[in-house]
Structure 1
Amino acid sequence: MMKITLFALATLALVCAVPQDQPAAAGAAPVAIVKQDSEVNINGYNFDFETSDGTARQEQGEYKNDTDQQGLAVKGSYKYVAPDGQHISVTFVADKNGYQPTQHLFNEPAPGAAQP
């Protein structure tokens, strides 16, 4: 049980880590974290964050210890703007059946982009 908690904490730390010494792309404004929440306990974890460029992620992991499954069952989603300007949104489940993503594409302008 302790290994799962440590794994969840390590995963959360990696996901939430933002390099501070990376120079911004030429002419691009720095990206700021506008929302960040997390909670880790013996039964699982959850976190979510959002950045000023429209990138966001949320995830919940629950420890399962029953006849159907033993281990973490994770569900969540993330979204971002691809380099070509297309909005990508993915929802997923990761459990005893593996990682199961569902991708959605949106043709919306990026946050802060000029609209026609």
Structure 2
Amino acid sequence: MKFVIVLACLLAVACAVDERSAVTTEERVQVNPDGFNYNVETSNGIELNQQGKVDEHTNSVSGSYKYTAPDGSLVVVTYTADENGYKADVKV
């Protein structure tokens, strides 16, 4: 299960952060024994926010990312990954 959650985190980061973009705001990372928070914003307007929780009963990741599509529309993806799988809600 932890592998699925880690994979979901990496997938979200890979989708959200374009390697040609420079990080314009300070990347904020907070890691605790019971979870983490991660936030980043890039110079081309991509924003990523993630939170994870870990305890003896729950392992979950939730977050969102948004970016401007090539046609100029704003795309917002909100997701969760937990014992029920990966679920994403996409709004364009």
Q: Report if TM-score (shorter chain) is over 0.5.
A: yes
Q: Closer, same or farther in 2 for the Cα pair 1:79/1:18, shift >3 Å?
A: closer
Find 1:46's aligned residue among 37, 43, 64.
37
Q: Which residue of 1 aligns with 2:80?
A: 93
Q: Is the 8 A contact 1:64 1:73 kept in 2?
A: no
Q: What CA deviation, in whole Å up to 9, does each residue of 1:32-89 have, x standing for no partner? A: 21221001121111100001211010000000312xx4xx211100001122222100
- 2:85 and 2:40 mapped to 1: Cα distance? 24
Q: In structure 1, list runs of 5 or more residues that go unmatched.
A: 23-30, 106-116
Structure with the greater alpha carbon radius of gyration: 1
RMSD: 2.6
Find 2:24's aligned residue among 19, 34, 46.
34
Q: Which residue of 1 aligns with 2:48?
A: 57
1:93: Cα distance to partner?
A: 1.1
For residue 72 of structure 2, what is the amino acid of its counterpart?
A: G
- 2:78 and 2:18 mapped to 1: Cα distance? 22
For residue 34 of structure 1, what is the amino acid of its counterpart?
A: T
TM-score for the superposition, normalised by structure 1: 0.59
Q: What CA deviation, in whole Å up to 9, does each residue of 1:3-27 have, x standing for no partner? A: x6xx96xx67xx49875xx6xxxxx
For residue 103 of structure 1, what is the amino acid of its counterpart?
A: V
- 1:82 and 1:32 mapped to 2: Cα distance? 18
